[in-house]
Each structure stands twice: as structure tokens, then as C-alpha cells.
Amino acid sequence: MSSDKQRPEWVPEGADEKTFTTHVMGGVDGGHDGMPGQSVGNPHVRTRLKKRPRLSASDYIDGIRNQNRTILARAITLIESNAPAHQDLAREVLAALLPDAGQSVRVGITGVPGVGKSTFIEAFGMELCERGKHVAVLAVDPTSTVSGGSVLGDKTRMEKLSRCPEAFIRPSPAGGTLGGVARKSRETLMLCEAAGFDTILVETVGVGQSEVTVRHMVDFFLLLMLAGQGDELQGIKKGVIELADAIFVNKADGDNIPRAKAKRSELHSVMRFLQPATPGWKPIAGTCSAHTGEGVDDVWNTVERFVTTTQESGSFSRRRQKQEIEWMHTLIEEGLKAHFFAHPLVKQRLPEMEASIREGKATVAGSVEALLSEYTGQ
Ligand code: GDP
């Protein structure tokens, strides 16, 4: 993999690098970096920005297959675009690359803000790079905005990893809804796999249902926790523990080591009574320190053991297939919903229906029934 830019290439008018922390990975319709494969110009010289040529579907497909990061980044931007022309092109690129995807280990990582996710992912990612892995780090954060003001948007903390030529870090798409972010992240994950990344880390913070969403797109799910605080204090939602294939107590360093070990034992006893998240795999409780690096390799050893065990039992591929089918249903539901609410008949009838219901002139069930009949033409 060729190394790409490491500093923000572009900041909005009136912002500076500190407040706009997201690396801007090239636009889809003209932008400012060079031709594919060329290095990016000086980020501070905005006046030299020049328009980039558009890429065709085969430019994207060939570029990604050739592990060209600039093109990968532009393809992700294409996926994240809401413009219909971009979406058509993105679909074509994704369909062509489907056979190249799927060859990675997908690891989801969650934990409350402050637990050390960024620090851990940096240490973990570096460890994986040292082991010869190609690591892509993605984030799923439904609160993310274009200005990078989100909890997971600030990836400047992963400075060392972002300098590693074998790693690729992409902030959460600014999708608004969790569904929108999830679609874009799934497709980004596929593109990263097609570009040769063999380990995909998907980071999320527990906003809404984001842990569940990420659980549905990864093979292995890691929960990071802290010692010395009740689970309620850590904002761990009921059920998140049940999603995890491993729980590691982070910050197991210095004076905190005994507390971390006690927490691990406590988790170990609790987890014995829980239904495992993955059939045939007993969830693991461990300790690690993202600062000292102690235990970070245990996490990877656990992932490797998990992959071997579940591939042998068949539950690895069964989960992947199930995830694809669930994803298909999700997209059908989203598509139907979008079509329904955009339909002129529905747009016209809904306010009338709402008024009638408010005034007590119609029942909810009756009104809905009538609208659906009209919509489906029955
Ligand atoms: P995030 O919000 O979950 O991404 O957490 P961060 O990675 O930003 O870490 C939050 C704070 O915890 C930072 O001040 C880190 O330096 C600190 N931190 C992270 N990991 C460790 C660790 O293993 N040990 C100690 N002592 N501090 C840590």
C-alpha cells in the first residue's frame, strides 16, 4: 500500500486544523488532490486548488483492485454522497467489486467515551501492522457531522497509526440517521476489503442502537470497560455485554492493575451465565492497557482463536450469510419507506389524515388502511 496524506488537506473557511480534525479524503466530482496515485499538494496552499478529473466506474474498480488509496478514498466519498448520479456510479463500483470483498476479519469495538477506544485502536492497529496486517479503521457514529465535532470524529489522536503505511483510517460518515451511517459504513467496509485490507476495525460509541448495528456488520465484537466503576456509571446499556465476544478491562496499568483484575474476575463470573453472542464461543474477559501495550496482543490472540474456532464449526460463515440476509431486509424496508413517503399521493393525503385524526373525524387504523389501499392501488 502506498502511504497517503497524514494531515488535514482542507479545512473549511473560518476553521483551523485544530477544530477541523477530519482528513478530507477527496471529493467525487472535482477536488484538489492530484491524479490518482500522486501525492497531495501542500495542505496550506488553498489558492492552488485545481479541479480533478472525474473518474469512470472502471477507474474506481481498477484503482481499488490495485490498492490505490487515493482512489479508495474517492470511492468512499462517492458512497457517502447523496447525489443520485454518484449513487448510481457507487452501485456499479460496488457490484463489480463484490467478488473481491469478504476476505477480512471484521472486528467491532465499543465502549463509553473515555474508556480508551482511540488509544486502544492505535496500539492494537500498530500491533497488527507489526504482524504484517493491513488494517482499516472505520467508525460508526450517528452523531457525526461534517465539521468533525462528533465523539468519534477526532481521529488526530491516532497519529501514530495514521502514519503507518499499512493502515487506513476513515472517520464516520456524516449520515444523520443510524441507518444512513450504517449503509455507508457497510459499503465502505466492502471497498476496504476489495482494496486488500485484511483486518477491519469498526469503532462505535453507544449512541442509540449503534452497538447493535455494528454487531450486525462484524465477525467479532469487543467491549472495552473500565474498572472501579459500576456498569451503570459506565453507561453500559443492558444487553451490550451480551453482544460481546470478549470484554477487556482497559487501563490495567500502575495502581489500577488490582482493580482491573478484580473487574475481570467479576465479569468472568457474570459472563458464565449469559447466552454467548456467538454459538460455540465462550466470551472472554481480559485486561489490557492501551498505554503500556500490556494485554493488547491478548486481544488479537483471542480474535485469532475466535476465527479458527468459528470457521471450524461453520458459525463464522453462517453469521456472515445471516448478516447479508438481514441487511437485504433492512435495505428493502428502508427503500419501501423512502418510496412511500416520497409518493405524491402520500404527501398529499398525510396532512389531511392528520387533521381528520386530530379533529376526531377518523380513526387511525381506518385512515391508514385507506391510505395503504390507495397507495398499492388495491
Ligand atoms: P475514547 O473516548 O474511548 O476514544 O478514549 P481515549 O482513547 O480518548 O482515552 C481517554 C483517556 O484515557 C485519554 O486521556 C487516554 O490517554 C487515557 N487512556 C487510554 N487508554 C489508557 C490506558 O490504557 N491506561 C491509562 N492509564 N490511560 C489510558
Last residue of a domain, one of 314, 341, 362: 314
List the domain range (segments joined by +) for residue 12.
4-93
CA torsion 303-308-312-315 (nearest 10°) is 10
Q: Which of 119, 144, 248 to mutate to test the pocket of ligand 1 (most atoms within 8 A of CB)?
A: 119
Residue 124 sits in a domain of what CATH number?
3.40.50.300
Q: What is the pLDDT of residues 152-176, one digit of tens each?
A: 445 456 888 988 888 999 888 776 6
From the list 78, 84, 87, the residue with the least C-alpha distance to 191 is 78
Higher pLDDT, residue 82 or 278: 278
250 lines ligand 1 (CB under 6 A): yes
Query: Does residue 82 sit in the same domain as residue 107?
Result: no
Q: Is 113 near ligand 1, meaning CB less than 6 Å away?
A: yes
User: For 175-223, what is each residue's pLDDT tens digit?
Assistant: 667 777 888 899 999 999 999 999 999 999 777 688 999 999 999 999 9
Cell of 126: 500498530
Are 230 and 338 within one domain? no
pLDDT exceeding 70 applies to what percent of the chain? 79
Using the 3D structure, point to which of 314, 333, 353 is the last residue of a domain.
314
Rounded-to-integer distance, Cα 202 and Cα 14, Å: 31
Burial zone of 316 (CB within 10 Å; 0-12 exposed, 13-18 middle, 19+ buried): buried
* CA 127 to ligand 1 center in whole angstroms: 17
Is there a single domain that holds both residue 132 and residue 242?
A: yes
Please check whether residues 134 and 230 belong to one and the same domain.
yes
The response to whether residue 310 sits with its C-beta less than 6 Å from ligand 1 reads no
CB of residue 114 inside a 6 A radius of ligand 1? yes
Check whether residue 61 and residue 119 sit in a common domain: no
Mean pLDDT of the chain: 82
pLDDT in tens, 232-277: 656 667 688 899 999 999 999 999 999 999 999 999 988 888 889 9
Does the Cβ of 117 fall within 6 Å of ligand 1? yes
Torsion on CA atoms 67, 73, 75, 79, rounded to nearest 10: 140
C-alpha closest to that of 106 among 204, 168, 199, 186 = 199
Return the residue whose CA atom lies nearest to atom 17 of ligand 1.
116
Domain-located, residue 319: no
CA-nearest of 161, 163, 200 to 76 is 200
CA of 319 to the centre of ligand 1 (A): 32
CA–centroid distance, 174 to ligand 1, in Å, is 24
Q: Is 167 in the pocket of ligand 1 (CB under 6 A)?
A: no
358 is a domain residue: yes
Number of domains in the chain: 3
